Structure formats: structure tokens, C-alpha cells
């Protein structure tokens, strides 16, 4: 596996909602370091942190990570991953966000294997069952609808699939999408050349560009992860999650 994969962690300093969040301290480590450690532990291949800011570059190199500067003109994390992966020659490129401190090595492995064992799919990702009712209506909790083989049919900030009151199917779960992606090399090259699609622009979900252009996405069901860091208040939620997990 290690010779076939490259893991790239896009770590943008200039977040609009929380500038510098990837360097925010969480239990004595920068947020991005937690993600990097999980990626290294997965053993799937080399790990690179890609950033547009020298502060992130220097901080990551200080804790032993390989880090590269990418263009500030990159429009998305995927563009940053693509730029960092140029010339690597890996068959699979894995994109995991630098604001996911509770990413697990086992989750990365399962998502990778799901794609590797789905030759008709070009992209892999992950989901988990939603257990909190409030998350179903929360637009910040992205939902995914899948077929019986775990292939994505649609992603939405709305509750999908809709549970009609007259339906004879009861108790079917909703699934939360986790924003990690495994690309076959040729799929990544194709994706970054595509223009943002109508559904992507409507829902503000980049993965819809792939579906709208015929790319197939294999989805692995994984155990629930802890909270991502999107705004400053999430650091407190993450600390509480850590404390609870240690009990």
C-alpha cells in the first residue's frame, strides 16, 4: 500500500471563520498535528502537509512533518492537494483535512480499502450513522444517501433521503458524511479540471461536482469521529470530547 498512496493534508491558515485554526492548541498540540499523526499511523504511504502560509509550514516542520508551500490562489483544499501531489506518481492520492483532530488511522484504511475493492468507482470517502436527532436538520452536518453497495447517490445539507410519513420503511438511519477523499490519480486530475457545478454551487459541497460529472464515489461506513474545528468554540467541544473519551 505504502508505495501506491500519497496522503496530503491541506492546512489553510487563512480560514475565514477561524484564521489560524490548524495551529490552534488542542491538548498541547496544534490541531493539524493530531491529523498528521493519524495519517502517519495509517501506514498507507508518505504524508505531506500542504499550506499557503509560512507559519503553518514552519510549525509543521518543527514537529517533524514534511510540509510544502502551495499557491495562495488555490480555490479549494482539493486544488491544494493536487498541487502538492504533482510529480509524486502515486496511484492513489488521499485528501484529509487539517482541521479533523479526531481522524483515525483505521478510518483511513477502511475508506482506502473500500475504493480499492470498488473498481467501478473513482473516488472513496466515509460516513457514519447519525445518532443525534439535531444533526439531521443541521445544515453543517452533511448527509449522504447511498445504494446497497455503498455508492454515493447524493450529498446534501438537507435530510436525505427524506422519510415520508406514509412510507412503510421505519427506522432507517441517516448518514453523516466525513470530508475525507481518496482519489484514483486519473480521477483527481480530471476533477481539478472541471468547473464548479450547479449543485455544488447551490449546496456549497465540492463532492457534488464529481457526481454531476459522472464520477462514482464509494462510501465506507466507519465509527463516529470527534468534532472538527471550524470555529473557535469547537476547541472547547473538542477538549470536552477528549475528556469524555478518557473516562
Give me the DSSP letters along 98-165.
Answer: TT-TT--HHHHHHHHHHHHT-TT-SEEEEEEE---HHHHH-TTS-EEEE-TTSBEEEEESS-SS---T
Q: What is the mean pLDDT of the chain?
A: 94
Residues with Cβ < 8 Å from 164, sequence gap 6 or more?
none
User: 150 to each of 56, 112, 117, 129, 159, how far by Cα in Å?
Assistant: 36, 13, 12, 13, 18
Angle between helix axes 31-42 and 105-116 (nearest 10 degrees) is 50
Q: By residue range, what is the domain housing residue 22?
A: 5-246
The cell numbers describing 55, all together, are 507559519
Residues 142-157, mean pLDDT to the nearest whole number: 97
Q: What is the pLDDT of residue 245?
A: 79
Bond preceding residue 161 cis, omega within 30 of 0? yes
The average pLDDT across 86-100 equals: 92
pLDDT number for residue 171: 85
For 146, how many CA atoms within 13 A lie in the half-sphere containing its CB?
Answer: 25
CATH code, 214 = 3.90.550.10
Number of structural domains in the chain: 1
41, pLDDT greater than 90: yes
Query: Given this model, what pLDDT does residue 176 score?
Result: 97
pLDDT band of 95, cuts 50, 70, 90: very high
pTM here? 0.93
Binned at pLDDT 50, 70 and 90, residue 15 comes out as: confident
pLDDT score of 2: 53
Residue 1 reports pLDDT greater than 70: no
Give the pLDDT score at 3.
53
Q: What is the pLDDT of residue 65?
A: 97
Calculate mean pLDDT across residues 53-72: 94
The mean pLDDT value for 13-36 works out to 94
User: 38 falls in which pLDDT band (50, 70, 90)?
Assistant: very high
> Given a cut of 90, is residue 29 above it in pLDDT?
yes
| pLDDT tops 90 at residue 183 | yes
Q: Which pLDDT score, from 0 to 100, does residue 243 have?
A: 87
Amino acid at each position: 500500500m505504502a508505495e501506491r498512496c500519497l496522503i496530503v493534508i491541506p492546512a489553510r491558515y487563512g480560514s475565514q471563520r477561524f484564521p489560524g485554526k490548524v495551529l490552534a492548541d488542542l491538548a498541547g498540540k496544534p490541531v493539524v498535528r493530531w491529523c498528521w499523526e493519524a495519517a502517519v499511523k495509517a501506514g498507507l504511504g508518505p504524508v505531506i502537509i500542504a499550506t499557503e502560509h509560512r507559519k503553518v509550514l514552519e510549525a509543521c516542520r518543527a514537529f517533524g512533518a514534511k510540509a510544502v508551500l502551495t499557491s495562495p490562489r488555490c480555490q479549494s483544499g482539493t486544488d491544494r492537494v493536487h498541487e502538492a501531489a504533482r510529480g509524486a506518481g502515486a496511484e492513489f492520492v488521499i485528501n484529509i483535512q487539517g482541521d479533523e483532530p479526531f481522524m483515525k488511522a483505521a478510518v483511513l484504511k477502511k475508506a482506502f480499502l473500500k475504493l480499492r475493492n470498488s473498481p467501478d468507482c473513482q473516488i472513496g470517502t466515509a460516513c457514519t450513522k447519525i445518532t443525534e436527532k439535531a444533526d439531521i436538520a443541521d445544515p453543517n452536518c452533511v448527509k449522504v444517501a447511498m445504494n446497497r453497495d455503498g455508492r454515493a447517490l447524493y450529498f446534501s445539507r438537507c435530510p436525505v433521503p427524506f422519510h415520508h410519513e406514509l412510507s412503510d420503511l421505519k427506522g432507517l438511519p441517516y448518514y453523516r458524511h466525513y470530508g475525507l477523499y481518496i482519489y484514483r490519480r486519473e480521477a483527481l486530475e480530471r476533477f481539478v479540471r472541471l468547473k464548479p457545478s450547479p449543485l455544488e454551487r447551490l449546496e456549497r459541497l465540492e463532492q457534488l461536482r464529481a457526481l454531476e460529472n459522472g464520477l462514482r464515489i464509494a462510501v465506507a461506513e466507519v465509527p463516529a469521529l470527534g468534532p472538527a474545528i471550524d470555529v473557535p468554540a469547537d476547541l472547547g467541544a473538542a477538549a470536552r470530547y477528549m475528556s469524555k473519551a478518557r473516562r
